[in-house]
């Protein structure tokens, strides 16, 4: 079957013949929905990329695969990834198993909070504040007064770079490292042998209470690390202290209607626990994916909302296309047991919160379309082109539970 290229991605020529969709697996008594967020998994520059300082060439997944010389991603290929963007080694299957689309962000921003909130029905029009020249001295002084010691840094920086540069001074003084990025974040890094985790988390909670309008950043992030100079390593003790989302989000609607919601990875932090009934942190993508499969094996209904943060924190920000490409291969491998657990009535939504192109200049997120792979074992897949808003994700979740769409909140 021949294909042609359109502005929305590859499109098959000719008439489509949908395959049989007779379910071969038993129907669950209550729907089970999984959202997998490829954190930083963009599929091409958004129309407004220049407003965010990004070149037209940004495309996180495509560029990582190209840098690796091509990838074998059979499960993502079957779902329809190749329909969304050219990926070296991945074809556009004759009939994607999933309904697949590229989602255009409606919110003002390109960060995790903005992206995740929009998925759940909250559009950010008034961007959270950013600090390209560091935080005002009076804010830093107030933070130092709250924690009882001086700080280092107060600049825009890559987390791994500033830890390597200022880590030795931190070990000598005990002063935490404060830094930010192009995102609306106040980040505090400290060595676990110098500042115990509970103390670092307490400091970040104090910073969260301090940072109110007009300095209400969307996240305060604890960045613990270990090791010695020249070999510092960030740990899984990271915690995000986000601004509470306005209510009700799609999560609140689901919970009010008796739907159980488990949050894996940093989802609980992003939503401040709001609308969530159970949560578990994860050390890496593999743990997140395997905990998702464990949840499916329980056989209980509800929503499992999983963030796969390695793409962003370990590879995208560090501009490591090889690591990003290997993470895609790992994701595809771990999808196999997850797909095997899905039954008629279940739904898998694979998406992203923003781009983080590992081949782009700088170390910041990139303003991109994100993928939507909407797979249901008892439904026929199709290519849907470009669609408006990440809110498509939340609307499809509500549909699975027989709930009406909710109006988007615009803040």
- Per residue in 117-157, pLDDT (tens digit) is 999 999 999 889 999 999 999 999 999 999 999 999 999 99
Q: For the chain, how many residues are written?
A: 411
**Residue located via tokens 């499960």:** 75
Of 182, 195, 107, which is closest to residue 149 (Cα–Cα)? 195
pLDDT in tens, the chain (411 residues): 232 333 334 333 333 333 333 333 444 568 999 999 999 999 999 999 999 999 999 999 999 999 999 999 999 999 999 999 999 999 997 889 999 999 999 999 999 999 999 999 999 998 899 999 999 999 999 999 999 999 999 999 988 899 999 999 999 999 999 999 988 999 999 999 999 999 999 999 999 999 999 999 999 999 999 999 999 999 989 999 999 998 789 999 999 999 999 999 999 999 999 999 999 999 999 999 999 999 999 999 999 999 999 999 999 999 999 999 999 999 999 999 999 999 999 999 999 999 999 999 998 999 999 999 999 999 999 999 999 999 999 999 999 999 999 888 888
Rounding to the nearest 10 degrees, give the CA dihedral for residues 179, 313, 355, 81: 180
Domains 27-125+244-392 and 137-242 share a fold: no
Distance between CA atoms of residues 96 and 85, nearest Å: 14
Q: Which residues pair with 176 in a beta bridge?
A: none
Q: Where are the domains of the chain?
A: 27-125+244-392, 137-242
CATH number listed for the domain at residues 27-125+244-392: 3.40.720.10
Distance, C-alpha 23 to centroid of its chain: 31
**CATH number assigned to the domain with residue range 137-242, chosen from the 4 options 3.40.50.720, 1.10.3720.10, 3.40.50.1980, 3.30.70.1250:** 3.30.70.1250
Q: Could you report the per-residue pLDDT of 156-203, keeping only the tens digit for each?
A: 998 889 999 999 999 999 999 999 998 899 999 999 999 999 999 999
Task: Find the angle CA(405)-CA(384)-CA(380) to the nearest 5 degrees.
Answer: 85
SS3 295: helix
Q: Is 240 exposed, middle or buried (0-12, 13-18, 19+ CB in 10 A)?
A: buried
Distances (CA, A) of 42 to 48, 53, 61, 289, 329: 14, 16, 6, 19, 16
Distance between CA atoms of residues 121 and 132, nearest Å: 29
**Residue located via tokens 């669950």:** 28
Tokens coding 31: 């729907």
398 sits in the region (left: phi over 0; alpha: psi -120 to 50; else beta) called alpha
Non-local CB neighbours of 278 within 8 Å, separated by 6+ positions: 260, 261, 262, 263
Rounded to two decimals, the pTM is 0.86
């Amino acid at each position: 079957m021949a294909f042609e290229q359109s502005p929305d991605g590859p499109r098959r020529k000719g008439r489509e013949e949908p395959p049989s969709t007779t379910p071969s697996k038993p129907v669950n008594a209550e729907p089970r929905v999984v959202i997998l967020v490829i954190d930083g998994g963009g599929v091409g520059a958004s129309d407004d990329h220049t407003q965010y300082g990004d070149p037209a060439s940004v495309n996180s997944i495509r560029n990582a695969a190209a840098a690796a010389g091509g990838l074998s991603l059979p499960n993502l290929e079957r779902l329809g990834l190749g329909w969304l963007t050219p990926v070296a080694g991945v074809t556009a299957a004759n009939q994607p198993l999933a309904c697949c689309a590229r989602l255009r962000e409606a919110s003002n921003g390109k960060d995790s909070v903005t992206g995740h909130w929009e998925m759940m029905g909250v559009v950010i029009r008034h961007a959270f504040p950013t600090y390209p020249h560091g935080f005002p001295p009076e804010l830093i002084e107030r933070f130092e007064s709250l924690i009882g010691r001086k700080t280092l840094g107060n600049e825009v920086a890559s987390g791994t770079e500033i830890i390597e540069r200022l880590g030795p001074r931190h070990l000598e003084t005990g002063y935490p490292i404060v830094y930010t990025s192009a995102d609306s974040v106040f980040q505090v890094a400290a060595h676990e042998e110098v500042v115990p985790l509970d103390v670092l988390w307490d400091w970040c909670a104090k910073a969260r209470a301090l940072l109110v309008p007009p300095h209400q950043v969307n996240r305060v992030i604890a960045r613990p690390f270990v090791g010695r100079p020249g070999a510092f390593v960030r740990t899984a003790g990271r915690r995000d202290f986000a601004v509470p989302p306005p209510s009700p989000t799609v999560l609140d609607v689901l919970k009010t209607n008796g739907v159980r919601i488990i949050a894996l990875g940093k989802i609980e932090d992003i939503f401040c626990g709001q609308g969530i009934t159970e949560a578990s942190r994860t050390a890496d993508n593999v743990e997140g994916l395997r905990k998702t499969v464990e949840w499916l094996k329980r056989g209980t209904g509800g929503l499992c909302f999983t963030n796969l943060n390695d793409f962003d924190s370990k590879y995208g920000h560090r501009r490591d296309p090889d690591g990003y490409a290997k993470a895609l291969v790992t994701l595809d491998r771990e999808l196999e047991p997850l797909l095997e657990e899905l039954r008629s009535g279940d739904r898998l939504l694979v998406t992203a919160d923003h781009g983080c192109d590992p081949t782009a200049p700088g170390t910041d997120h990139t303003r991109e379309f994100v993928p939507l792979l909407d797979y249901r074992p008892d439904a026929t897949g199709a290519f849907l082109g470009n669609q408006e808003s990440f809110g498509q994700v939340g609307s499809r979740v509500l549909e699975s539970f027989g709930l009406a769409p909710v109006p988007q909140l615009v803040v």
